[in-house]
């Protein structure tokens, strides 16, 4: 597997999160995710496992009904078919390594496209309440 250089991959987009592909096979997809303050990947539930490794910044990762506050060094894993989304805090950029296995299908990303078009973190409803007592850092 090639070495992943966040400095070389770093690209921010003023309109939406930026996902820079770093590695892909039929079994795994690895991207460097770059989020301006407040940007997000809308909640969706593809049939793939997800690992989010936060490199810099702060935000939250949705895992089903839970929302994990995240900061550099935190890792959150979400099983396949479980709602997940990622959102940068309003006052900070967020950079994370995102690993999915197997890679989600194009159809599984329909809720992502719908949420981005509408500017909605959770395009299909669900809870928007952060769990203030969840201080496990996504572990």
Mean pLDDT (the chain) is 89
pLDDT surpassing 50 at residue 21: yes
The predicted-structure confidence for 85-111, as pLDDT tens digits, reads as follows: 999 999 999 999 999 999 999 999 899
Say if residues 111 and 104 touch (Cβ distance below 8 Å).
Answer: no
> For 18-118, which CATH superfamily applies?
Jelly Rolls (2.60.120.10)
Is the four-CA dihedral 122, 127, 129, 132 of positive or negative sign?
Answer: negative
DSSP string, 36-90: -TT-EEEEE--SSEEEEEEEEE-EEEEETTEEEEE-TT-EEEE-TTS-EEEEE-T
pLDDT at 126: 53
pLDDT of 25 higher than 60: yes
What local confidence, expressed as pLDDT, does residue 137 receive? 38
What pLDDT, on a 0 to 100 scale, did the predictor assign at position 71?
98
Q: Are strands 49-57 and 94-101 parallel, antiparallel or unpaired?
A: antiparallel
Q: Residues 18, 90: contact at Cβ < 8 Å?
A: no
Summarize pLDDT for 107-116 with one digit per residue, the tens: 998 999 999 9
Specify the pLDDT at position 3: 85
Q: Highest mean pLDDT: which of 1-5, 47-51, 112-116?
A: 47-51
């Amino acid at each position: 597997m090639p070495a992943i250089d966040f400095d070389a991959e770093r690209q921010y987009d003023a309109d939406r999160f930026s996902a820079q592909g770093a590695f892909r096979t039929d079994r795994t997809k690895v991207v460097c995710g770059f989020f301006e303050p407040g940007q997000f990947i809308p909640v969706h539930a593809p049939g793939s496992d997800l690992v989010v490794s936060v490199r810099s910044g702060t935000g939250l990762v949705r895992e089903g009904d839970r929302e994990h506050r995240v900061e550099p060094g935190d890792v959150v894993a979400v099983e396949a078919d479980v709602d997940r989304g990622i959102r940068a805090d309003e006052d900070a950029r967020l950079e994370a390594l995102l690993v999915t296995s197997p890679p989600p299908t194009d159809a599984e990303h329909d809720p992502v496209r719908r949420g981005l078009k509408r500017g909605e973190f959770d395009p299909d409803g669900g809870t928007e309440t952060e769990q203030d007592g969840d201080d496990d850092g996504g572990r």
